[in-house]
């Protein structure tokens, strides 16, 4: 049985990596998976290496930020924060953009 990958990856012209979360995936989980895929670290190793995600952003707040009442579109917007050596932007569509910090 084959499973669908959790994230879809592409690369922007400016060298940023872009991942797309699955429709029902929490954004905080998508961020960790994107970092793991980009850095070749296991998701559990990320917290050991860089500290927990909640040191950079409240995962619950990130997950609920773009939620809207059932049957309506998500709130429009984007949130950007720094974690694990990346500038991370997440938008209302579940698009996660990773830009390595220099």
pLDDT, residue 56, reads 97
The sign of the torsion formed by the CA atoms of 55, 29, 47, 98 equals negative
29, containing H or E segment: helix 27-39
101/23 Cα distance (integer angstroms): 28
Residue 1 lies in a domain: no
For position 3, what pLDDT does the model report? 37
Task: Please state the φ and ψ torsions of residue 89, each to the nearest 5 degrees.
Answer: -120, 135
Longest dimension (CA), the chain: 42
How high is the mean pLDDT in each 10-residue block of the chain (102 residues)?
A: 46 76 92 93 93 96 80 75 96 93 86
| 45 occurs within a structural domain | yes
The pLDDT value recorded for residue 72 is 59
What global pTM score does this model have? 0.82
Q: Residue 54: which residues within 8 A CB-CB, separation 6 or more?
A: none
Note the pLDDT of residue 10: 55
Residue 19 belongs to what domain range?
Answer: 7-100
Number of domains in the chain: 1
Has residue 59 been placed in a domain? yes
pLDDT value of residue 47 = 93
């Amino acid at each position: 049985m084959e499973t669908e990958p959790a994230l879809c990856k592409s690369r922007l012209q400016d060298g940023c990596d872009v991942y797309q979360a699955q429709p029902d995936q929490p954004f905080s989980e998508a961020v960790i998976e994107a970092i793991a895929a980009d850095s070749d670290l296991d998701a559990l190793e990320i917290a050991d290496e860089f500290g927990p995600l909640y040191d950079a952003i409240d995962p619950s707040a990130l997950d609920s930020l773009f939620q809207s009442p059932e049957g309506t579109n998500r709130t429009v917007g984007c949130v950007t924060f720094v974690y694990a050596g990346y500038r991370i932007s997440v938008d209302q569509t579940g698009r996660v953009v990773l830009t390595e910090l220099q």
